[in-house]
């Protein structure tokens, strides 16, 4: 079943400008359309500045899109009133990249996880406490550490706190914006496993935003590649990684460093001048689209 | 070229002295790339700074010897050391945004490096700067030398740093995470450039990184650091095809890529922080193959192959014969592994274990991760080796 439907999403930022001067318009997200099925992990990859984070935030309206539409369970998110939007956010939550700056250092872990419940006026004090303890357990944190502050946790544990907070309201969609890229490599796998376990257990749908293509290939069902604000290729993971069609996707995949000194290396360099930026996406194989 | 022996760097923290680099020895030969791999806090950057004698208080060099072309760098007076830095050993920093001075043009900054080391006069420094920018493939270098760092992209800034590093024709370049802040395709270009520079200028390269993929592509030999010590070192193929330390095996096995959608084979626990390194082998609280001696004295280095060494008691034939269980499946390679004992009762209940840590040290205090993870590791133990 369709959970999220993004169509012709556009987000422009105005840079510079002032009282007497018009700024320059930058199109961060340029006519982006995709949909996410319930229970699926949809990957959004691209380099910094490609618009993947902006796209994720537009879905939650943490950033207001300039044009286009976002539908969540067939309802138009962009038409929601502030009260209705708050209600809708119960069902879609975000986990941020940096576990060091995304948690309030002055709050205790328990307060951080409990806050969404208070904002949404759910349960009394006792039920909230029970729920927080339950969430701690769910993400693999020790309930004995409820009263600690963020700096007393390691990076991996902080990301677990961020995850517990995002799960507090029982959402169906989680937007994961580079959830493990700030973590040490020996800890990344733990958090990735936790994400996969939680998805099964809670029937979650993930929008997984990342630049680590090895990881995206591992956990996503479908992937969209963004380049300069547009989706240039989109398709089932196997199809996209095994037979990339767009020159940018090919360059991106060939740049992945392989942890095998004997792996064949064939670097494909992108000739930016040869990319037709106006090409429309067309279906080249079942569910596999490329702007060529 | 460079021979580091028993290097020890200590940080005098409020909680007492903490050994960030602990008895580290390695060598880099002429024209060779050594990949120094480690996670945050493993001491890999401190090692680099120690070589250049750039460790700032509260850190201090507490022992060891660094022979560079036959001279002991630790015995040189500071004025002599200054002639080595930049001229004979160059450093490329991780963060190209902050390593350049924002108020000078990049041409001026490259020229400064040349003039300071007497490699060019003020007059021909400009021509030389243009040549260098050309060498690192910056297009239109005549105009670019007048640019300020903020006018360049991250990849271009890293190219400028490489140009500065090679300006005085050093024989050794120390590159500290040179591509970490860069995007995938740019990272690939910079690595290609480094390789090319190394070849054409016959440089030796000390490449410090946490990315095993980068190391596999770039290094001739690899040293793996954990909690201040080199736990394994060897030729790049040996390290990747037949890793001999459980930490190296664990890292390789935990990388995504084996089977899509499968749970990853995670290493349990968290990375220890400086000042709270576990006693004995610092990896033992997280090690699936730990046995009795691991928590005692730190293991010495055992030869496990040609120019291949590992600091792990599994390779001590006397000790590891005592326990003859089969390995729990930490092997990452298809090559037969030495007999590896299965995990013994969790060491975290040992009161002498890790309790000397600071409050934020959580391998010991976080009861959750070490308890929960081994179960999962065991559950996953039936999976075929990678």
What percent of chain B is modeled with pLDDT above 90?
55
Residue of chain B nearest A262, judged by CA positions: B237
3-state secondary structure B113-150: HHHHCCCCCHHHHHHHHHHHHHHCCCCCHHHHCCCCHH
Q: Which pLDDT value is given to residue B237?
A: 96
Q: Which pLDDT value is given to residue B104?
A: 93
Tell me whether residue B362 is in a domain.
yes
**pLDDT tier at A54 (50, 70, 90 boundaries)?**
very high
Based on the fold, state whether residues B214 and B106 are members of the same structural domain.
yes
Lowest mean pLDDT among A206-215, B264-273, B365-374: B365-374
Residue of chain B nearest A160, judged by CA positions: B369
- pTM (2 decimals)? 0.83
Range of the domain at B282: 235-382
* Yes or no, beta carbons of B255 and A260 under 8 Å apart: no
Tell me whether residue A140 is in a domain.
no
Q: Which pLDDT value is given to residue B319?
A: 78
Q: What is the ipTM of this complex?
A: 0.86
What percent of chain B is modeled with pLDDT above 70?
82
Q: Which residues of A touch B184 (CB under 8 A)?
A: 47, 211, 213, 252, 255-256
**For the residues A99-127, what does the mean pLDDT come to?**
92
Average pLDDT, chain A: 92
Based on the fold, state whether residues B73 and B134 are members of the same structural domain.
yes
Asked if A272 is an interface residue toward chain B (Cβ–Cβ < 8 A), one would say no
- Alpha-carbon torsion angle A102, A104, A108, A110, nearest 10: -50
Task: Answer yes or no: is pLDDT of B179 > 90.
Answer: no
Instruction: Point out the residue among A48, A265, A269 whose CB comes nearest to the CB of B217.
Output: A265
Task: Answer yes or no: is pLDDT of B377 > 80.
Answer: no
Q: Which pLDDT value is given to residue B66?
A: 95
Task: Answer yes or no: is pLDDT of B374 > 50.
Answer: no
Instruction: Point out the residue among B184, B240, B257 whose CB comes nearest to the CB of A255.
Output: B184
- Answer with the residue of higher pLDDT: B155 or B215: B215
Task: Answer yes or no: is pLDDT of B354 > 80.
Answer: no
Distances (CA, A) of B311 to A44, A211, B232, B249, B315: 41, 34, 6, 13, 8
Tell me whether residue A139 is in a domain.
no
Task: Answer yes or no: is pLDDT of B366 > 70.
Answer: no
Plot region of A72 (φ>0 → left; ψ -120 to 50 → alpha; else → beta): beta
CA distance A152 to chain B (A): 5
Instruction: Point out the residue among A145, A190, A258 whose CB comes nearest to the CB of B213.
Output: A258
Based on the fold, state whether residues B119 and B214 are members of the same structural domain.
yes
Residue of chain B nearest A218, judged by CA positions: B260
When divided into structural domains, chain A yields a total of 1
Q: Which pLDDT value is given to residue B383?
A: 39
* Yes or no, beta carbons of A238 and B260 under 8 Å apart: yes
Q: Which pLDDT value is given to residue B386?
A: 37
Closest CA to A199 of A42, A58, A52: A42
Instruction: Point out the residue among B216, B241, B271 whose CB comes nearest to the CB of A257.
Output: B216
* Yes or no, beta carbons of A185 and B39 under 8 Å apart: yes
Q: Which pLDDT value is given to residue B321?
A: 61
**For the residues B261-290, what does the mean pLDDT come to?**
91
- Alpha-carbon torsion angle A170, A176, A181, A182, nearest 10: -50
Task: Answer yes or no: is pLDDT of B358 > 80.
Answer: no
* Yes or no, beta carbons of A154 and B270 under 8 Å apart: yes
- Coil, helix or strand at residue B235: strand
Are B246 and B289 contacting, i.e. CB atoms less than 8 angstroms apart?
yes
CA pair distance A61, A32, nearest whole angstrom: 15
Q: Which pLDDT value is given to residue B98?
A: 79
Residue of chain B nearest A48, judged by CA positions: B183
CA distance B277 to chain A (A): 14
**pLDDT tier at B274 (50, 70, 90 boundaries)?**
confident
CA distance A187 to chain B (A): 6
Q: Give me the half-sphere count of Cα atoms (radius 13 Å) on the Cβ side of residue B357.
A: 23
Q: Which residues of B touch A189 (CB under 8 A)?
A: 254-256, 264-267
Q: Which residues of B touch A184 (CB under 8 A)?
A: 39-40, 210, 270-271
Instruction: Point out the residue among B266, B271, B369 whose CB comes nearest to the CB of A189.
Output: B266
Where residue A23 sits, what CATH number does that domain have? Answer: 3.40.50.300
Tell me whether residue A145 is in a domain.
no
* Yes or no, beta carbons of A144 and B367 under 8 Å apart: yes
Q: Which pLDDT value is given to residue A275?
A: 82
Based on the fold, state whether residues B206 and B291 are members of the same structural domain.
no
* Yes or no, beta carbons of A215 and B256 under 8 Å apart: yes
Alpha helices in chain B (DSSP H): 44-51, 78-84, 96-99, 106-116, 122-135, 141-144, 154-166, 184-201, 212-218, 236-241, 246-254, 317-322, 362-365, 368-379
Q: pLDDT by residue (tens digit) across A155-192?
A: 889 999 999 999 999 999 999 999 988 888 888 999 99
When divided into structural domains, chain B yields a total of 2
Q: pLDDT by residue (tens digit) across B31-40?
A: 999 999 999 8
- Answer with the residue of higher pLDDT: B120 or A80: A80
Q: Which pLDDT value is given to residue B96?
A: 67
Count of A–B CB contacts within 8 Å?
143
CA pair distance A252, B284, nearest whole angstrom: 38
Best mutation target, B182, B185, B374, to test chain A (most A CBs within 10 A): B185
Instruction: Point out the residue among A153, A190, A260 whose CB comes nearest to the CB of B216.
Output: A260
Give burial (CB, 10 Å; 0-12/13-18/19+) of B266.
Answer: buried
Q: Which residues of A touch B250 (CB under 8 A)?
A: 186
Q: Which residues of A touch B267 (CB under 8 A)?
A: 186-187, 189-190
Based on the fold, state whether residues B32 and B165 are members of the same structural domain.
yes
Based on the fold, state whether residues B205 and B317 are members of the same structural domain.
no
Based on the fold, state whether residues B257 and B299 are members of the same structural domain.
yes
Asked if A62 is an interface residue toward chain B (Cβ–Cβ < 8 A), one would say no
Tell me whether residue B81 is in a domain.
yes
Based on the fold, state whether residues B73 and B178 are members of the same structural domain.
yes
Q: Which residues of A touch B257 (CB under 8 A)?
A: 214, 217-218
Instruction: Point out the residue among A186, A219, A258 whose CB comes nearest to the CB of B216.
Output: A258
* Yes or no, beta carbons of A185 and B189 under 8 Å apart: no
Q: Which pLDDT value is given to residue B153?
A: 85
**pLDDT tier at B368 (50, 70, 90 boundaries)?**
very low
Q: Which pLDDT value is given to residue B277?
A: 92
* Yes or no, beta carbons of A151 and B360 under 8 Å apart: yes
Q: Which pLDDT value is given to residue B243?
A: 96
CA pair distance A87, A77, nearest whole angstrom: 11
How is B160-179 classified by DSSP, letter by letter?
A: HHHHHHHTT--SEEEEESTT
Asked if A227 is an interface residue toward chain B (Cβ–Cβ < 8 A), one would say no
Q: How many angstroms separate the first and last alpha carbons of chain B?
A: 37
Q: pLDDT by residue (tens digit) across A218-266?
A: 999 999 999 999 999 999 999 999 999 999 999 999 988 888 888 877 7
Q: Which of B166, B189, B219 is the last residue of a domain?
A: B219
* Yes or no, beta carbons of B268 and A251 under 8 Å apart: no
Tell me whether residue A249 is in a domain.
yes
Q: Which residues of A touch B39 (CB under 8 A)?
A: 184-186
Alpha helices in chain A (DSSP H): 52-60, 82-88, 109-119, 125-138, 155-167, 185-202, 213-219, 237-242, 247-254
Closest CA to A206 of A172, A233, A231: A172
Residue of chain A nearest B183, judged by CA positions: A47
Which sign does the torsion angle of CA B150, B154, B160, B162 carry?
Answer: positive
Residue of chain A nearest B273, judged by CA positions: A154
Based on the fold, state whether residues B198 and B239 are members of the same structural domain.
no
Where residue B144 sits, what CATH number does that domain have? Answer: 3.40.50.300
CA distance A220 to chain B (A): 8
Which sign does the torsion angle of CA B200, B202, B206, B211 carry?
Answer: positive
Q: Which pLDDT value is given to residue B209?
A: 92
Q: Which pLDDT value is given to residue A223?
A: 97
Task: Answer yes or no: is pLDDT of A56 > 90.
Answer: yes
3-state secondary structure A239-264: HHHHCCCCHHHHHHHHCCCCCCCCCC
Tell me whether residue A245 is in a domain.
yes
Instruction: Point out the residue among A140, A185, A192 whose CB comes nearest to the CB of B251.
Output: A185
Asked if A267 is an interface residue toward chain B (Cβ–Cβ < 8 A), one would say yes
Peptide bond preceding B58 in cis form (omega within 30 of 0): yes
Best mutation target, A190, A214, A232, A254, to test chain B (most B CBs within 10 A): A190
Tell me whether residue B224 is in a domain.
no
Tell me whether residue A71 is in a domain.
yes
Q: Which residues of B touch A237 (CB under 8 A)?
A: 260
CA distance A278 to chain B (A): 22
- Answer with the residue of higher pLDDT: B304 or B369: B304
Asked if A261 is an interface residue toward chain B (Cβ–Cβ < 8 A), one would say yes
Question: Per DSSP, what are the bridge partners of residue B230?
Answer: B225
Based on the fold, state whether residues B118 and B207 are members of the same structural domain.
yes
Task: Answer yes or no: is pLDDT of B350 > 70.
Answer: no
Q: Which of B184, B219, B254 is the last residue of a domain?
A: B219
Range of the domain at A80: 2-91+171-290
CA distance B51 to chain A (A): 25
- Answer with the residue of higher pLDDT: A16 or B139: B139
Tell me whether residue A226 is in a domain.
yes
- Answer with the residue of higher pLDDT: B317 or A230: A230
Average pLDDT, chain B: 82
CA distance A217 to chain B (A): 7
Tell me whether residue B226 is in a domain.
no
Q: Which residues of B touch A48 (CB under 8 A)?
A: 183
Q: pLDDT by residue (tens digit) across B93-112?
A: 877 677 889 999 999 999 99
């Amino acid at each position: 079943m369709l959970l999220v439907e993004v169509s012709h999403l556009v987000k422009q930022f105005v840079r510079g400008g002032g009282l007497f001067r018009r700024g320059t318009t930058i199109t961060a997200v340029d006519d982006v359309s995709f949909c996410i099925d319930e229970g699926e992990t949809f990957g959004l990859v691209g380099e910094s500045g490609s618009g993947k984070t902006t796209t994720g935030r537009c879905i939650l309206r943490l950033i207001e899109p300039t044009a286009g539409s976002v539908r969540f369970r067939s309802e138009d998110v962009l038409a929601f009133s502030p009260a209705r939007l708050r209600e809708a956010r119960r069902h879609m939550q975000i986990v941020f990249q940096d576990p060091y700056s995304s948690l309030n250092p002055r709050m205790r872990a328990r307060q951080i996880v409990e806050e969404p419940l208070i904002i949404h006026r759910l349960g009394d004090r006792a039920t909230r406490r029970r729920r927080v303890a339950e969430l701690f357990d769910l993400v693999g944190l020790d309930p004995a550490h409820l009263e600690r502050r963020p700096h007393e946790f390691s990076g991996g544990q902080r990301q677990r706190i961020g995850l517990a907070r995002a799960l507090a309201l029982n959402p169906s969609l989680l937007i994961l914006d580079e959830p493990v890229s700030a973590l040490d490599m020996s800890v990344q796998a733990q958090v990735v496993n936790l994400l996969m376990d939680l998805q099964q257990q809670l029937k979650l749908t993930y929008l997984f935003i990342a630049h680590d293509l090895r990881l995206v290939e591992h956990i996503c069902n479908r992937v969209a590649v963004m380049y300069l604000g547009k989706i240039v290729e989109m398709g089932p993971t196997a199809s996209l990684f095994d037979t990339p069609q767009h020159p940018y996707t090919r360059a991106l995949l060939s740049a992945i460093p392989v942890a095998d000194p004997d792996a064949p290396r064939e670097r494909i360099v992108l000739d930016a001048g040869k990319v037709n930026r106006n090409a429309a996406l067309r279906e080249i194989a079942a569910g596999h689209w490329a702007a060529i | 070229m460079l021979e580091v022996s028993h290097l020890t760097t200590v940080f005098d923290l409020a909680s007492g002295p903490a050994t960030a680099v602990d008895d580290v020895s390695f060598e880099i030969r002429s024209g060779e790339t050594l990949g120094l791999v480690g996670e945050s806090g493993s001491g890999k950057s401190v090692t680099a700074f120690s070589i250049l004698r750039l460790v700032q208080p509260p850190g201090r060099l507490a022992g060891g010897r660094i022979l560079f072309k036959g001279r002991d760098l630790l015995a040189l007076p500071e004025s002599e050391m200054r002639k080595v830095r930049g001229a004979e050993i160059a450093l490329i920093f991780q963060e190209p945004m902050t390593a350049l001075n924002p108020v000078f043009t990049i041409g001026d900054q490259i020229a400064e490096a040349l003039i300071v080391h007497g490699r060019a006069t003020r007059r021909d420094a400009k021509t030389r700067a243009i040549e260098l920018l050309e060498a690192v493939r910056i297009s239109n270098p005549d105009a670019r030398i007048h640019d300020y760092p903020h006018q360049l992209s991250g990849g271009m800034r890293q190219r400028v740093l490489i140009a500065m590093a090679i300006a005085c024709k050093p024989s050794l370049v120390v590159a500290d995470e040179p591509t970490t802040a860069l995007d995938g395709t740019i990272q690939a270009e910079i690595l290609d450039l480094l390789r090319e520079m190394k070849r054409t200028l016959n440089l030796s390269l000390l490449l410090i990184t946490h990315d095993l993929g980068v190391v596999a592509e770039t290094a001739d030999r690899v040293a793996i650091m954990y909690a201040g010590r080199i736990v394994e070192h060897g030729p790049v193929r040996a390290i990747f095809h037949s890793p001999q330390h459980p930490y190296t095996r664990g890292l390789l096995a935990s990388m995504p890529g084996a089977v899509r959608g499968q749970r990853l084979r995670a290493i349990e626990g968290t990375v220890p922080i400086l000042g709270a390194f576990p006693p004995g082998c610092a990896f033992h609280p997280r090690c699936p193959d730990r046995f009795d001696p691991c928590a005692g004295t730190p293991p010495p280095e055992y030869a496990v192959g040609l120019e291949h060494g590992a600091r792990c008691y599994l390779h001590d034939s006397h000790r590891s014969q005592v326990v003859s269980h089969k390995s729990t499946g930490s092997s990452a390679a298809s090559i037969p592994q030495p007999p590896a004992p299965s995990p013994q009762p969790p060491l975290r209940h040992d009161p002498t274990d890790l309790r000397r840590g600071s409050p934020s040290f959580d391998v010991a205090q976080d009861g959750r991760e070490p308890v929960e993870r081994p179960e999962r590791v065991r559950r996953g133990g039936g999976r075929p080796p990678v």
